[in-house]
């Protein structure tokens, strides 16, 4: 119901002291650690409201699990944005979709000048929890991250990417190798135009106080359109390659930079170019060289990768993708707070997101034939055809059956990352989206594209996180955890634990507080 939807984006208070939860069923005793979640928690300051779901002030949650018991606490990130907004009791910092009106207290002249300032990038890190060198950070897509103590949820240090590498920010979805080496991507802008940079952060600290020391740009890829780089939310990584997917959702830098001048917000500077194509750029992780071959596909929008690996001379890339990038503009708070039919209308104009596989041939030379499918030795309906000296046109395979349509597609994909990222794998987990937010949990088996589904009316599960059991021998030996929102009932949010193999509920820990729908989480295991 629409009233329920509205509650998914209502503001809540923080719960900085741990409170106990009410457990139904059993939480396996072997689970030991903190399930950390991050997402927007406050949508209005004073009497002003944020416009875009990605704008809400960051609220960090911790479910501490130990010996079958669970406690809960939450804390707002005391970012400069949050402090400045609290102090002025008005929205003083530009977030993704919200324009700051000039301060009414300034006199006319100062007000005029304040419209010419560049929007100060926000440090409201509300997208995810990430790790660098073993430390936890909360992150969004700007240049500032906050180091956070996973025990107390207190922000201990503000870390600025620009002090370490020449980038304007970095994604909230880095990739980590088994030794702890972390890869990320960030943009830089110069008089020559916009560049996409692949960044590598070393696995260990030299001193206790280390943050991003030693981070380096592995390579820079120039944007095809100098003043309109593509927006990307994540990237793919296999054993030997980082794959940057340049998609036709563009950022109009001029509009963004002059945003204050025209009263437009940053998200108004994003546009979908349906005539554009999608380009896969392959970067060798060991040499930093970009492959001269450009792999091209139809225009798609992808926010989240599932996995990528190399097999028999091919690079297999699995992602959640849709054919239409208009969606990003639909997540504004006015839309989420709409009622009944208006809300259905918003949902129906959004393009569904589905899991897809692309297969890119790696071993091409001047003898590679044109105009025929180059994929052999791999069972797939995806195709790759050489159409130019250094150009390959790719079509995808659907990683699902017809039955996924009735669940509205799949987003927020997760795998058994520690053991199977960059390797051949069989299972992934995600949220089904029959509403503007997830309303089912799905496990996909890639061997036969069969699904297992957990779904109950009125319950809205967030991103499923897989945690392997201590002596796991199978890929899906472990649990899947998700925070489930219950907007129809007051204060009955719960942490759900499913057996990952059977996808049956093992137990739940109910929290006597309201929690808004969040984005991403991680499990911080404690031995």
Give residues with Cβ within 8 angstroms of 161, minimum separation 6. Answer: 143, 144, 145, 167, 168, 169, 170, 186, 212, 215
* DSSP SS3 for 335: helix
Count of CB atoms situated within 10 Å of the CB of 313: 14
**Between 222 and 120, residue with greater pLDDT:** 222
Which pTM value belongs to this model?
Answer: 0.86
- Beta bridge pairs of residue 445: 427, 450
The pLDDT score that the predictor gives to residue 33 is: 93
* pLDDT > 50? residue 29: yes
| Contact criterion met (CB below 8 Å) for 432 and 409 | yes
* 312-364 tens-digit pLDDT: 999 999 999 998 776 655 555 455 555 556 555 555 556 688 999 999 999 99
Q: Is 281 annotated as a binding residue?
A: no
Percentage with pLDDT > 90 across the chain: 45
* 454-493 tens-digit pLDDT: 999 889 898 999 999 999 999 999 999 999 988 777 777 8
The pLDDT score that the predictor gives to residue 7 is: 60
Q: Is 520 annotated as a binding residue?
A: yes
Q: Is 435 annotated as a binding residue?
A: no
**Between 439 and 280, residue with greater pLDDT:** 280
| Contact criterion met (CB below 8 Å) for 512 and 491 | yes
Backbone φ/ψ region at 79: left (φ over 0), alpha (ψ -120 to 50), beta = beta
Nearest-angstrom CA–CA distance, 200 and 181: 7
In this structure, is the dihedral angle defined by the CA atoms of residues 30, 33, 39 and 43, taken in order, positive or negative?
positive
DSSP strand pairing (175-176 vs 155-160): unpaired
Q: Is 447 annotated as a binding residue?
A: no
């Amino acid at each position: 119901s629409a009233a329920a939807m509205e509650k998914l984006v209502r503001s809540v208070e923080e719960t900085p002291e741990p409170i106990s939860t009410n457990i139904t069923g059993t939480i396996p005793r072997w689970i030991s650690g903190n399930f950390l979640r991050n997402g927007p928690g406050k949508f209005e300051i004073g009497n002003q409201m944020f416009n875009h779901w990605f704008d809400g002030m960051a609220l960090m949650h911790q479910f501490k699990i130990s010996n079958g018991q669970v406690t809960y606490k939450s804390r707002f990130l005391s970012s400069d944005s949050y402090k400045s907004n609290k102090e002025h009791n008005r929205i003083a910092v530009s977030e993704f979709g919200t324009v700051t009106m000039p301060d009414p207290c300034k006199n006319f002249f100062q007000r005029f000048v304040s419209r010419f300032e560049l929007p100060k990038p926000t440090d409201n890190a509300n997208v995810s929890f990430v790790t660098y060198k073993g430390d936890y950070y909360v992150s969004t897509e700007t240049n500032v991250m906050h180091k956070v103590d996973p025990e107390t949820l207190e922000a201990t240090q503000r870390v600025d990417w620009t002090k370490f590498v020449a980038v304007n920010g970095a994604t909230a979805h880095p990739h980590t190798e088994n030794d702890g080496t972390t890869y990320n991507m960030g943009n830089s802008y110069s008089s020559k135009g916009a560049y996409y940079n692949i960044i590598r952060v070393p696995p260990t600290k030299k001193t206790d106080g280390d943050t991003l020391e030693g981070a380096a740009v592995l390579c820079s890829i120039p944007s095809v359109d100098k003043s309109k780089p593509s927006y990307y939310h994540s990237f793919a990584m296999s054993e030997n390659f980082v794959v940057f997917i340049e998609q036709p959702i563009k950022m109009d830098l001029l509009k963004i930079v002059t945003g204050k001048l025209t009263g437009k917000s940053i998200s108004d500077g994003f546009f979908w170019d349906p005539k554009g194509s999608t380009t896969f750029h392959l970067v060798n992780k060991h040499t930093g060289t970009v492959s001269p071959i450009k792999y091209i596909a139809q225009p798609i929008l992808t926010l989240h990768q599932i996995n990528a690996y190399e097999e028999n001379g091919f690079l297999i890339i699995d992602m959640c993708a849709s054919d239409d990038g208009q969606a990003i503009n639909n997540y504004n708070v006015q839309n989420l707070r709409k009622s009944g039919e208006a809300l259905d209308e918003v949902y129906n104009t959004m393009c569904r997101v589905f899991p897809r596989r692309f297969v890119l041939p790696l071993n091409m030379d001047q003898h590679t034939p044109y105009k025929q499918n180059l994929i052999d030795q791999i069972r797939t309906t995806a195709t790759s055809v050489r159409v130019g000296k250094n150009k390959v046109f790719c079509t995808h395979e659907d990683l699902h059956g017809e039955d996924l349509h009735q669940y509205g597609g799949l987003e927020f994909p997760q795998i058994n990352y520690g053991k199977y990222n960059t390797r051949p794998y069989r299972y992934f987990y995600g949220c089904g989206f029959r509403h503007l937010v997830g309303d089912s949990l799905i496990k996909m088996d890639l061997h036969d594209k069969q699904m297992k589904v957990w779904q109950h009316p009125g319950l809205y599960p967030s991103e499923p996180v897989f945690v392997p059991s201590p002596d796991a021998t199978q890929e899906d030996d472990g649990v899947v955890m998700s925070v489930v929102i219950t907007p129809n009932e007051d204060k009955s949010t719960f942490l759900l634990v499913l057996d990952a193999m059977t996808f049956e509920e093992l137990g739940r820990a109910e929290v006597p507080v309201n929690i808004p729908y969040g984005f991403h989480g991680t499990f911080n295991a404690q031995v």
